Amino acid sequence: MIRDLVQAEDKKYEFILYNRRRLNTSFVLVLSVFFLFIARIFYWQVFKYDILYRRAIEANTCFLKTDAVRGEIYDRDGIGLAVNSLRYRVIIERLDVPEGKENELIAKLVNFTTKLGNNFFSSLPIVLNDLNNFEFSKDKEEQVKYLKKILKLPDSATASHCIDKLSEKFKCENFNACDRYHICSVKYNNFRLGISSKASPLTIFDNVNEKSVSILIENSYKIPGMKIGTSLKRYYTFPETFAHIIGYTGIISNQEYEKYRGKYSLDSTIGKTGAELAFEEILRGYHGQRAIQLSKDNSIINSNQVYESKSGNSVILTLSSKLQNAASESLKRNIMSAKKNGAQDCNSGAAVVIDLRDKDFGILAAVSYPNFNLQKYIENNEYNREITNDKLSPLINRAFCACYAPGSTIKPLIALAALEENLINREELIKCNGSFNYFKNYNLHCMGRHGNIDLGTALVKSCNVVFAELGRRLGANRIAEYAKKFGLGIKTGVELPEKEGILSTPERNKKLGIPWYPSFDSQIGIGQADTSFTPVQLALCAGVIATGENRKLHVLKQVMDYPKNNVVYKYEPKILGSNLVSEENLNLVIGRMKEVTYCGTASDFKNFPIETAGKTGTSQNKGSDHTSYMCFTPEIAIFVIVANGKYGAYSKSVARDILKCHYNLK
């Protein structure tokens, strides 16, 4: 019995010991979890504080973009070419709109503001026609494709299908077709940008007239949430004469957004063409950001500027608006005169002026005809379609992107090349009997019968026989080498888009599968064959002959910070080549080019008060011949082409008007 009692006590002790061990283990586990919890809180509070705090704030915070101001574009004299002007916007602050009334308010506000004489602009690539049917906008295939993509609709979807899908999303199915179109248009822009927060306002009209502003403000008590905001509109001072040079801006396309991913948002404005595109990085500026903290009922608790927007810098161009306008007006007038006086197919041309002062090689003027009204092209869809479909292609910048056979304007270069290669000297005489027939079955005509003639006189008289012979002696490859030295057949380096031109050589023909004949060398010598250059290259060539140096062409003069207008960058001339030919040969050719203007093919300049050196050019073409004129003074170099102009008087007349404007002559 005693043994049983002892065993019972032992079991009781073991049980107590077992429970105590379990209790200790549980205590350790609980304590461990507690310490882990404390450690985790410490880690969150100390090491992850910034991240977690930002997440907590972002959970009920909307980040709104504040617009950046785009830098402006001026001419060399400080005259604005692309400037910012104030405009008024009608917006809806969604937080101030009663629940469920937003769509009704949009429809009411659009109808009311439209009756005040303002045009409603839709960001949708859809229009509502006169029969109240929806159809896709013309020439907006990319936007239509993107719309179907984000709506997850098949390629076969119609415009009505897209509107129905948007109406369902924006809960406006019960409105009539016109109101549904307006509601979907207004809300689509935020939807496209991925903006869903009610803190983000809706833009109803981007540009309303001042009369409408006062009326809207007077009636604002009837329209909850309606606000009048301001923004800057791009205004082009000379919308026709500078259309090709300045270019324009627009909302970034999907392709551009992918190309510049990370640099722009989907609603960014970006340069599309011309200087607006070329100097985008300088002009663009950077958006700011404002954080709006909301309560559970969507009322604003706090609003803070996260970071300020930064204005873009302004660009000062080398161009002179005075000279540009004079050249543009003269080119148009002379093309019209040529057309009226027998050259019925004369519809286009170009003129380029280069600054030779201090050997700067900045472009003073570059005009192309036909041109177009840049402001109307941006703002008027019907005019945009008209210009885009115009058979005369007014959108082409012919000064930089059209190539023409140089004709006789290449002869000064041929003369320099032949002299440098010792293939002729100033005393050698070549007989001109009215035609060049060195090659069998090939006969090249001259405008006269000059008899035995030296190189200098041949340049003054523009003798085809002499320069056909020099072309034969030089050969296409050597001509191409000298052409490149003088800026022909290669890009000039100007900041705006330009074509390369064509240098006719046996190698090029071989690549194209075109046979090469020895007579082509002679054709190149008089500026024919398929050799062709841009007007800006031929103006550069005139400048290189005038100065003896090849320098990079440019339209950027300097950069200024906006709006303080302090100079932050100034262009420095860049030499591409010097000592291209001997000074003796250069002086010979320049001297003879001066003779051209008072006793040669441009003798109509003989009484001009400023001494000039020049060379006329005529190149055969389908239809009437192209006529051109190249000239220079110590200050400027000019090249003018009147395509299909037939008579050289017209290109020379444009050059004369440019010279008069530059030198302030009557």
What's the number of CA atoms in the CB half-sphere (13 Å) around residue 217?
11
Residue range 401-446, pLDDT digits in tens: 999 999 999 999 999 999 999 999 999 999 999 999 888 888 889 9
Residue 609 reports pLDDT greater than 60: yes
Residue range 18-57, pLDDT digits in tens: 666 666 676 667 777 777 777 776 666 665 566 655 555 5
Q: Which of 39-53, 183-197, 258-272, 306-320 has the lowest mean pLDDT?
A: 39-53
Paired strand residues for 551: 575
The strand pair at 126-128 and 80-92 is best described as unpaired
Element spanning 300, H or E: strand 300-307
More confident: 288 or 185: 185
Most confident of 239-253, 282-296, 319-333, 566-580: 319-333
Q: How many CB atoms are located within 10 Å of the residue 298 CB?
A: 14
Residue range 70-87, pLDDT digits in tens: 899 999 999 999 998 877
Task: For the chain, give percent helix, strand, coil, nearest 5.
Answer: 45, 20, 35
pLDDT at 346: 94
Q: Which of 224-238, 297-311, 474-488, 630-644 has the lowest mean pLDDT?
A: 297-311
In contact, 203 and 91? CB cutoff 8 Å:
yes
**529 phi-psi bin (left φ>0, alpha ψ -120 to 50, beta other):** left
Q: How many CB atoms are located within 10 Å of the residue 306 CB?
A: 12
More confident: 611 or 140: 611
**What is the Cα–Cα distance from 535 to 196, expressed in whole angstroms?**
52
Give Cα 446 distance to the centre of its chain. Answer: 44
More confident: 337 or 252: 337
Q: Tell me the pLDDT band of 286, cut-offs 50, 70 and 90.
A: confident
Residue 300 reports pLDDT greater than 90: no
> pTM here?
0.79
Residue range 206-224, pLDDT digits in tens: 888 878 888 887 787 778 8
Q: Tell me the pLDDT band of 265, cut-offs 50, 70 and 90.
A: confident
What is the mean pLDDT of the segment spanning 332-340? 96
pLDDT at 215: 85
DSSP string, 537-596: HHHHHHHHHHHSEEE--BSEEEEE-TTT--EEEE----EEEE--S-HHHHHHHHHHHHHH
Look up tokens 């004469």; give the residue: 241
Look up tokens 């050059």; give the residue: 655
Give Cα 418 distance to the centre of its chain. Answer: 41
pLDDT at 456: 95
Question: pLDDT above 90 covers what percent of the chain?
Answer: 59
Q: Tell me the pLDDT band of 623, cut-offs 50, 70 and 90.
A: confident
In contact, 536 and 439? CB cutoff 8 Å:
no
Q: How many CB atoms are located within 10 Å of the residue 398 CB?
A: 26
**What is the Cα–Cα distance from 112 to 208, expressed in whole angstroms?**
12
pLDDT at 295: 59
Residue 280 reports pLDDT greater than 90: yes
Q: Tell me the pLDDT band of 269, cut-offs 50, 70 and 90.
A: confident
Average pLDDT, whole number, for the chain?
Answer: 87
pLDDT at 54: 58
What is the mean pLDDT of the segment spanning 625-636? 96
Q: What is the DSSP letter of 117?
A: T
**What is the Cα–Cα distance from 425 to 470, expressed in whole angstroms?**
11
**475 phi-psi bin (left φ>0, alpha ψ -120 to 50, beta other):** left
pLDDT at 302: 56
More confident: 45 or 514: 514
Look up tokens 């917006």; give the residue: 91
More confident: 20 or 276: 276
Q: Tell me the pLDDT band of 16, cut-offs 50, 70 and 90.
A: low
More confident: 82 or 253: 82
Q: Which of 127-136, 499-508, 595-604 has the lowest mean pLDDT?
A: 127-136
Question: pLDDT above 70 covers what percent of the chain?
Answer: 87
Distances (CA, A) of 1 to 4, 336, 410, 652: 5, 139, 136, 142
Paired strand residues for 365: 353
Question: What are the tokens at 217?
Answer: 């403000």
pLDDT at 205: 84
Q: Tell me the pLDDT band of 294, cut-offs 50, 70 and 90.
A: low
Residue range 155-204, pLDDT digits in tens: 999 999 999 999 999 999 999 999 999 999 988 877 876 666 666 788 88
What is the mean pLDDT of the segment spanning 362-381? 93
In contact, 598 and 606? CB cutoff 8 Å:
yes
pLDDT at 629: 97
